[in-house]
Amino acid sequence: MLVLEPQHVHMHQHAGDKAEALQCLINILVEDQLVTPEYLSGLEAREQQSATYLGQGIAIPHGTPQSREYILKTGVRLAHFPEGVVWDGENTIYLAVVIAAKSDEHLQVLQILTRALSKDVNEQVKSAQSSEQIIEILQAQPHSLVLHENLIQTDTFVEDIEDFFWNASKLLKQQKLVDPGFISQLDPQNTIQIQDDLWSISGTGYVKQPAVSIVKAQQPLTFQGSTIKTLICIAANEQLDTDQFNRLMDVLFQPQVQQQLETEQSSNEIAKLVGAETIPDWPSRSIVLANAHGLHARPATQMVNLTKTFNGDIQVSVDGGSFVSAKSLTKLLSLGCQRGQMLTFIAEPNTDATDALEQIILAVRQGLGEEVEAIEDQLTSNSSLNGSQLIEETDSVEISHCGIAASAGLAFGPAHIIKPKKFNYDRFGQSLKTEKEKLEIAIHTVKNTIHQFIAKSTSKDIKQIFLAHLEMLDDPDLIKQVHQGLNHNLSAAAAWHEHIEKAAKAQEGLKDKLLAERAADLRDIGDKVLAVLCNEPEVEEPEQSYILIMHDVGPGDVARLNKDRVAGILTAVGGSSAHSAIVARALGIPAVVGAGDGVLNIDPHAVVLINGDNGEFEVNPSAELIENAIREREYQRLRREEAERHAHEPAITVDQHQIEIAANVGKILDTAKAVSHGAEAIGLLRTELVFMSHNSAPDEKVQEKDYRHVLDALAGRPLVVRTLDVGGDKPLPYLPIATEENPFLGLRGIRLTLRRPNLLRQQLIALLKAADNRPLRIMFPMVGRVEEWRAARAILDEVLQQYPCSNLEVGIMIEVPSAALLAPILAKEVDFFSIGTNDLTQYTMAIDRGHPILSAEADGLHPSILLLIDQTVRAAHANNKWVGICGELAADPKAVPVLMGLGVDELSMSITSIPLVKAQIRTLNYAACQELAQKALLCDSATAVRTLVE
């Protein structure tokens, strides 16, 4: 992030005219090794296109896109001209802020400058005597207090005071008024009762701009011997406008306000009641900004020039934030809008401004005077695709007949193809009343359908999925957001789809597999309602057994699967660790995934044969192939039954080498099931899923109870526990974390808990107390540096002084390549390694394993991964330490002999895979596996390794 610092200010410069001033600026940039001298041509070209005078005696000269080749490093420098320089033939500048930008980092500086321009600083800039004065002038924040309708939330479901705090903080964070951590400033002991069930709370830390959020609950909550239904949350710092704040408090202390708050359900009416800014109920249009460097000075000037040709008021907001005038250059720059963000324009009704919206949208789409690479703007489209956008959608896509083996077994039957849905609807509605009625009817219809599914279902897990869908449809915040779209004249279908897609994209951007399922749930329930609104018929399931063919299989699809009818699954996208693959394995349904878009064009009447063991499939197979498949399927059924009968026997090779077989679990109640399937240990307890099962942070007693349940069910078998593994890509609702550009490389795992040591300490205490000296193995996730391991171990050692545990081992997960490379050092200090092959593969190969196209290439049997596993095992065994595998690779039949041959001591996998893997190991020769593994290390691809194993 670029910042303005005193050392970047060059005071008392002199220039007779603009040309001399530009040369002066170039000399400064060259001296600081930010640009080459040729960058001057870019500055001059930009000034010829449009002068860069910003206002208040300040100019922001910068180069053209063509001159970026002369930039050595992004930076900003300031030159003070006390005598002034005539800049555009009319205005005189006293400060030039010259920008050399390879990216859009300079937009943050522009936001600082435009905030400074909200007050009269011309004379201050002119007479400044030091660089510190200049920085102080520019960074001084005017007194303010943000009171806005988008900071008010009504009909909120709350269970305790922390829910109030969470929702109030979320509103402030969404508008970028506070930083992550603000919620930690809110102490229930500091709440103040204003009136009967009206309370306030304030925080002063992590505040970017003073603001007030208001949260009104569905029902009053018992609190401190009284009740609370409405919370006023005050974010205050030294810039708080005390006069405005006092006026607000005067209003809130009026008795009639309490009565009005009690009955009023509209955030708009509450905003009016407390004197907050309201969102105008004006016609609107939205578009994603495609300009590479955001809404900087030049495109913003183009927008101002266009909007000023209309007499009516035109306002604009970014990503649902506050609206500002689209006719003010400084206000536009203060938005700091970057490529990919959503601009929403509203126009004053009954004026020529309403006619301007289409022209403005067109101008933004065309780049506002700049060449742009278009961004697909789904929010301005009248169609939707469920799931990932297909690369092609033509009948000419070739079918490869080979995908990725995802779930073992053979299956055949007629193809039942469900293609991504498309919905056509009008963007603007008939009337607000009519569209609201349409929406209510559609939601009610879908709820009835879901209730019918729940009544018919015999599966507890499926019922939970549908109950979660009902909760989404009852979410007051969701309905409120959709109603805001209706208030802007959108049709029910457009308002519904736009909000669902926006929410799903935000969830999907977190990238975590489990939370990505939440995005799929959102789209699934969104499509159900949209289908009703658009009169789209439901796809009927065939009566006979069939092969389900889809782009991908989401949680909602899983819930509807009838195991008696779905013989197999074939998908266009996905990898062996994708959601569809995991689900298929859990249900015992043969599956091939990642077979390409062509499978969606298979003739619906065709018979399809799939082989979940090798990833192959055949369209309209011969009678002979089907007969062979029937025989093979029967053999596999008998093999599984035989494996299950011997599931509790150890996994020992024919030459008497034994390996421990463990289970990966996320739910504590799954422990007993794992033991019944032959698990000799829990090789990975994902404690983040234990945390996620609670609505608020589980305290030490709650955690101890959960962990004790697992240890009791294990009856003396070892428990390997991964400490809390959450972060930017796996947030907890009660553990807010700043949004990160790349959460997979951000604050997660041990990096997070080392910065929240009390959280880690509390979890460690709960684990040690629950152990009662039973075999407990604690491992720290995402360790990439020796320092992280030592810091985490130090906290554990401190806890052990008070809570000793005689049967304890401590290790780390190897999921970052640096940890594998450091294994010879770490092995001297840890008790064990557990290799998470899912993350190790994606970090090593730089492929997101959830990527719809590339995930198929993220194969854990790639030689690069095997080499890292080999180094880790060698280092561990040299120090008499053991190594486990807890990724999906542990249950891959082709990986098992290779991993054993590399010397892995434990394999931990999904519960249903345990019997078959044990049975496979009993057929293997350990010496032969060692020879095979050495050959695999010399292969040049994952495909070559798999061919070698065959």
Residue 475, sorted as left (phi over 0), alpha (psi -120 to 50) or beta, turns out to be beta
Of 461, 693, 679, the residue nearest 586 (C-alpha): 461
In angstroms, the CA 345 to CA 317 distance is 7
Beta strand segments in 766-901, E: 776-780, 808-814, 832-835, 882-885
CA 725 and chain centroid, separation: 15
Indicate the pairing of strand 546-550 with strand 342-347.
unpaired
Cα(814)–Cα(779) distance, rounded to whole angstroms? 10
Q: Is the dihedral of CA 688, 691, 696, 697 positive or negative?
A: negative
892: part of which helix (H) or strand (E)? none
DSSP lists the bridge partners of residue 153 as 215
Here the tokens at position 379 are 């929010």
Distance CA 733, CA 706 (A): 20
Instruction: Assign 3-class secondary structure to 520-544.
Output: HHHHHHHHHHHHHHCCCCCCCCCCC
Residue type, position 285, single letter: R
Nearest to 727 by CA among 403, 458, 511, 934: 511
- 825's tokens: 């050092």
Tokens 């013989």 belong to residue: 567
User: CA distances (Å), 540 to each of 51, 164, 470, 602, 618, in order?
Assistant: 63, 43, 22, 18, 24
CA dist 530 and 420 (Å) reads: 13
Q: CB burial class (10 A; 0-12, 13-18, 19+) of residue 142?
A: exposed
- Answer for the pair 830, 858: CB distance below 8 angstroms, yes or no: no
Per the DSSP assignment, residues forming a β-bridge with 317 are 344
User: CB-based burial of residue 186 (10 Å sphere; 0-12 exposed, 13-18 middle, 19+ buried)?
Assistant: buried
Residues designated catalytic: 62, 296, 579, 886
* Three-class SS state of 71: strand
Spatial separation of the C-alpha atoms in residues 869 and 837, rounded to whole Å: 9
CA 870 to chain centre: 33
